[in-house]
Structure 1
Amino acid sequence: MPREPPVLDYQLLKNHAGILLVGDYHSLAELHEVVHDVNDRSPLLRQDDGPFLGLAYDVRKAYEQQREILLPPEGFEEIGVRYGVEILWPVLLVQHRMLRVSLGYLDHSKRHQAITYALEAVIEDALREDFGTQGQAIIDRWLRLDPDIDVFEKLDSRGAMFCSWSKTQRNKRFASLLSSFGLMFGIESVQQTAESVSSRELQRWEGVEWPDPNW
């Protein structure tokens, strides 16, 4: 039986925290399978059970009906039951970039591409809706993020800082937070603004338990 193309969707969480990633059973199961395959073969990943694999764990919990269950609206039963899981913005964006860039190092199929691009489209739409005029700047910085072998170590302090921010701070500073993953971060010649994330700030969040993101 031919596979249906992946169908993913989203709902925004509160306070610019992230999204509820939504899909039917087959689309989420496909994403789970592809993430596991990339995790096993990508030269950019050095942990067998690290944060990248957390994406597979989250979507598995969703389609196993252990997270959000979304029933079809009354009168639209043909939509079918869908499943969702909450994911913070910095976590999802780094996970997706690792997925996307890793494919460039691996033999892969159109199935890999289909689910990867479906997730990318959902993220772009959600960022534009969530951040309004800041949305495109955030998308541009996210798509320039080149994941290296230390990217998830960097995520530890950046995720903690993001969770501590208010809704207003996330709107103003998230683009700068994404830039802080780059190789040029911390170089004095790079122009800084009042909203820029500094290396001194990030040092204070290293090894700190992530606060409640209020999502």
Structure 2
Amino acid sequence: MLQFDLTKRHAGIVLWGDTWSLRAVHDLVHKVNEESPVVQNKEGFLLGLAYDVRKAYEGQREKAVREYFEDRCPIYGVQILWPVVIAQVALLRAGMAFIPTDRMDQSVMYELEHLVDRAVREATPAGADEILEQMKRLGEAHAHVETVIDSRCGYFVSLPPKQRVTQLAMLLASLDSMYGFRVELARRNGAEGVISLDSFEPYAAGAEWPDFQW
């Protein structure tokens, strides 16, 4: 069974699971990555999720013990940034639409989606619906997401902790290939609720992410 903890400074979540549940996620990601025509870069962004969960169940990231009455089970976790885990789960779902899947595949996918849904709603009850709505749209922008996700994450971790969740929906919206048009339209109308493209430029140009706390 998968579980999560929110990180203290709102950077993301710790994805927890026992060895078997994490291996199931790992196997599903590899299957979709290899078989789905939606995933054009077979060594790219989606495969990062498989890497993270493998490092977790190999014991190279976080470790804890799950207790249930007198039973004790070791569990393993990995920290993942909000924009990354949301985009990865969205792209995984989009990729599954174009390949044969069985009930086991679907059960793993539903558990991942349920975990992200619960985590977002716990992190920001008031803003959860908007964030999850943006998540649904990411699957349609899969090719563009991979080209811009690094610059968005650099900006995200540079934010003060309290602003990370409040700006998350806007940040996810910026992963859309039409975001530049949306920003220009907002400027003309004097509207708010968008992040300037200039905010992402330093990281798009190769600047290193600032040191940050999870």
- Tell me the residue number matched to 1:156: 150
Q: Which among 127, 131, 145 is matched to residue 124 of structure 2? A: 131
Aligned-pair distance for 1:79?
5.2
Structure 2 contact 141–177 (Cα < 8 Å) conserved: no
* Counterparts of 1:92 and 1:24, CA distance in 2: 19
- Tell me the residue number matched to 2:209: 210
* Identical aligned residues as a percent: 38
Q: Which among 197, 200, 214 is matched to residue 198 of structure 2? A: 200
Structure 1 contact 142–178 (Cα < 8 Å) conserved: yes
| Aligned partner of residue 3 in structure 2, secondary structure | strand
1:87-108 deviation digits (Å, cap 9, x = unpaired): 1111111111110000111111
Q: Which among 78, 88, 93 is matched to residue 86 of structure 2? A: 93
* Counterparts of 1:77 and 1:66, CA distance in 2: 27
* Counterparts of 2:201 and 2:128, CA distance in 1: 27
Structure 1 contact 101–147 (Cα < 8 Å) conserved: no
Structure 1 contact 173–196 (Cα < 8 Å) conserved: no
Please say if 1:189 is aligned against 2:188. Answer: no
Give 1:31's aligned amino acid: V
Structure 2 contact 11–81 (Cα < 8 Å) conserved: yes
- Evaluate the alpha carbon distance shift between residue 157 and residue 192 of structure 1 in structure 2; reply closer, same or farther with a 3 A threshold: farther
1:26-64 deviation digits (Å, cap 9, x = unpaired): 110011011011111121222232121111111111111
- Tell me the residue number matched to 1:3: none
| Aligned partner of residue 195 in structure 2, secondary structure | coil
- Tell me the residue number matched to 2:112: 119
- Number of aligned residue pairs: give it: 208
Give 1:113's aligned amino acid: Q
Q: TM-score, normalised by structure 2?
A: 0.90
Aligned-pair distance for 1:9?
0.8
Give unpaired runs (5+ residues) of structure 2. Answer: none
- Tell me the residue number matched to 1:70: 64
* Counterparts of 1:167 and 1:139, CA distance in 2: 20
* Counterparts of 1:81 and 1:36, CA distance in 2: 24
Give 1:202's aligned amino acid: F
Give 2:208's aligned amino acid: E
Please say if 1:48 is aligned against 2:42. Answer: yes
Give unpaired runs (5+ residues) of structure 1. Answer: 1-6
Aligned-pair distance for 1:195?
4.5
| Aligned partner of residue 124 in structure 2, secondary structure | helix
1:168-214 deviation digits (Å, cap 9, x = unpaired): 22132111011111233121335675442122222232122222331
* Counterparts of 2:21 and 2:69, CA distance in 1: 20
- Evaluate the alpha carbon distance shift between residue 12 and residue 177 of structure 1 in structure 2; reply closer, same or farther with a 3 A threshold: same
> How large is the RMSD of aligned CA atoms in angstroms?
1.8
Please say if 1:178 is aligned against 2:177. Answer: no
Q: TM-score, normalised by structure 1?
A: 0.89
Structure 2 contact 144–177 (Cα < 8 Å) conserved: no
- Tell me the residue number matched to 1:33: 27
Pick which of 44-53 and 98-107 moved more.
44-53
Structure 1 contact 21–87 (Cα < 8 Å) conserved: yes
| Aligned partner of residue 141 in structure 1, secondary structure | helix
